[in-house]
Amino acid sequence: MRSFFLISLVLLSWTGAFAQAGEQKTATAQNILFILDASGSMWQKSDNEFRMAIARSVLKNLLGKLPATTRTGLVAYGHRQKEDCNDIETLAPLGPLDKVALSAKLDGINPAGKTPIALSINHALALIRTETAPVTIILVSDGLETCEGNACDLVKQAKAQGVKITLHVVGFGIVEKDLSALECIAQAGGGQYFPANNAGELAEALDQTVVPPPAGGGYLSVKVTREGKLLDATVKVFKKGEKKPLSSARTYEGKATNPRVLTLAPGTYDVEVMSVAMDGKPTQWLKDLVVPSNDTLVHAVDFSQGVMKILVTENGILSDATVTILKTGTQERVAGGRSYTRPETNPATYRIVPGTFDVEIASVKIEGRPLVRIENQVLASGATLSLAHDYATGELKIGAFQGQDFVDAAITIYSKKTGKSIAGGRTYMSASTNPNTFLLEPGDYRVDLNPVKPKGLAKKSFEVTVKAKETVERTTTW
């Protein structure tokens, strides 16, 4: 009895192992259906080579890299008739990978007609409706729809009906600015849109399309607005700690693609959102986003303007300074002006798009125009960010005499800390200018006086310490 029990356990273990192996084999065996644009525009050239020739070559290379277990199919449109929107043909139904046969089919394609994207996707969906395993559909097109139909809606309906697809779109050499129709197809199909302008980019894009969808994948939804209206922006997703974007997309200004939804493996990401239409292409970052498994992480990015106020004072009194707002870590100017000394202009007030900024304040009044840089200031949408800087100053009065007579001397003031000249002037031979007054930051200075009149007097120097809110007077005599 005990032997029978042990044998049963062994048989059950083997059966489970075989079943698990079978499940793994099924999971790794991909189903890939290509839809290839063979419209007349594929005779145009990219990098001095016909697009059709590039597509043939790249697809053949891709087929050569696919595992033998892959099931593939090929649909082409626009390759037989010039003006026929129904010119769609199944060149190879979804089945075991036959690289030789597929290569021969590719060689036989002769671009001629229109671009019936919606009808082609409908054709492809009809081919795979009986499939029980997921299918990756890859559309390669060099243009937008030229026939009737809404491909995005077709894909949405198919997904809603439970058709197991991931649909990627590769835009090859497309020059149109608004590609929202193609981005919408990719989003509806749970895939990505990949732009490609030459053979290398097409190969890289197609390599990414055949990567199996992430297990337990989640979704990132990014809605971009400005002043309550949908805003066109690019969305680049970076795996935490990496510099090359893992995924990129565009929101455009329509509800079909804004919010933009991207399929991602569970993990931590940084996301760059850059406005396309706004001057300066302002950028916001979403840091340390944790995308959950089988769930959607929703974020809204608003480029509505915020208010930045910069108060500049000197010993607590309004002071005149230039104010420059820069993109953080750069010298790229976003806004700027002067504070002056009036309550109407100080604090200096600026309405700018949200982001992270550095602020430079340079005194107009103080000798040497001391500059202060306040870094990494985050301005949120619709928020007010108030900053302030108070300059501490003291006065230095320098006189030059020979007995009771004025001496006209050239004055140069050096910072003892840096050794640099920060101020200069002359005493002239007048009570209004002799002594000459300089407004300085607190510190130690060396002062050189080089007499101009009367001639023949020797140069003299002295050192002095200036303190905040104090006046120091030094008279040099000959």
Predicted pLDDT at 459: 97
CATH of the domain at 423: 2.60.40.10
- 5 falls within a domain: no
Whether residues 337 and 399 share a domain: the answer is no
Q: What is the 3-state secondary structure (H, E, C) of 377-443?
A: EEECCCCEEEEEEEECCEEEEEEEEECCEECEEEEEEEECCCCCEEEEEECCCCCCCCCEEEEECCE
For residue 329, give the nearest of 289, 377, 274, 383 by alpha carbon. Answer: 377
- Residue 439 in tokens: 């407004």
**Co-location of 381 and 405 in the same domain:** no
Let me know whether 387 and 401 are in one domain. no
Whether 452 contacts 406, CB under 8 Å: no
Residue 182, pLDDT score: 96
CB 119 within 8 A of CB 125: no
Neighbours of 300 (CB within 10 A): 11
Same domain for 181 and 151: yes
Look at residues 338, 361, 391 and tell me which one is the last residue of a structural domain: 391
Q: Which pLDDT score, from 0 to 100, does residue 19 have?
A: 38
Whether residue 398 is contained in a domain is answered as yes
Same domain, 209 and 72: yes
Spatial CA neighbour of 438 closest among 390, 474, 402: 474
Q: Can you give the residue range of the structural domain that contains 426?
A: 394-477
- pLDDT at 28 (0 to 100): 58
Amino acid at 421: S
**CATH number of the structural domain spanning residue 48:** 3.40.50.410
Sequential pLDDT tens for the chain (478 residues) = 333 333 332 333 333 333 333 333 344 589 999 999 999 999 998 888 999 999 999 999 999 999 999 999 999 999 999 899 999 999 999 999 999 999 999 999 999 999 999 999 999 999 998 999 999 999 999 999 999 999 999 999 999 999 999 999 999 999 888 999 999 999 999 999 999 999 999 999 999 999 988 878 899 999 999 989 999 999 999 999 999 999 999 999 999 999 999 999 999 999 999 999 887 788 889 999 999 998 999 999 999 999 999 999 999 999 999 999 999 999 999 999 999 999 999 999 999 988 899 999 999 999 999 999 999 999 988 899 999 999 999 999 999 999 999 999 999 999 999 999 999 999 999 999 999 999 999 999 999 999 999 999 999 999 999 999 999 999 999 9
Give the number of domains in the chain: 4
| Strand ordering across the sheet containing 267-275 | 247-250, 233-239, 267-275, 283-291
Measured between alpha carbons, how far is 475 from 376 in angstroms, rounded to an integer? Answer: 45
Domain-located, residue 136: yes
pLDDT of residue 1: 37
Strand partners, 445: 415, 464
Query: Which residue, among 436, 364, 425, has the nearest Cα to 393 in the 3D structure?
Result: 364
Asked if 107 and 56 touch (Cβ cutoff 8 Å), the reply is yes
Question: Could you tell me which of 199, 170, 198, 282 has the C-alpha nearest to residue 234?
Answer: 282
178 and 119 in a common domain: yes
Question: 310-332 burial, b for 16+ CB within 10 Å, e for fewer?
Answer: bbbbbeeebbbbbbbbbbbeeee
Q: Are residues 273 and 318 in the same domain?
A: no
Cβ burial of 127 (10 Å; 0-12, 13-18, 19+) is middle
Domain end residue (candidates: 364, 391, 418): 391
298 and 319 in a single domain? The answer is no
Domain boundary among 192, 213, 234: 213
- 351 in the same domain as 311: yes
Question: What residues pair up with 444 in beta bridges, in sequence order?
Answer: 465
d(CA 179, CA 171): 9
Domain presence at residue 23:
no
* Cα(255)–Cα(252) distance, integer angstroms: 9
Same domain, 298 and 310: no
Whether 405 is in a domain gets the answer yes
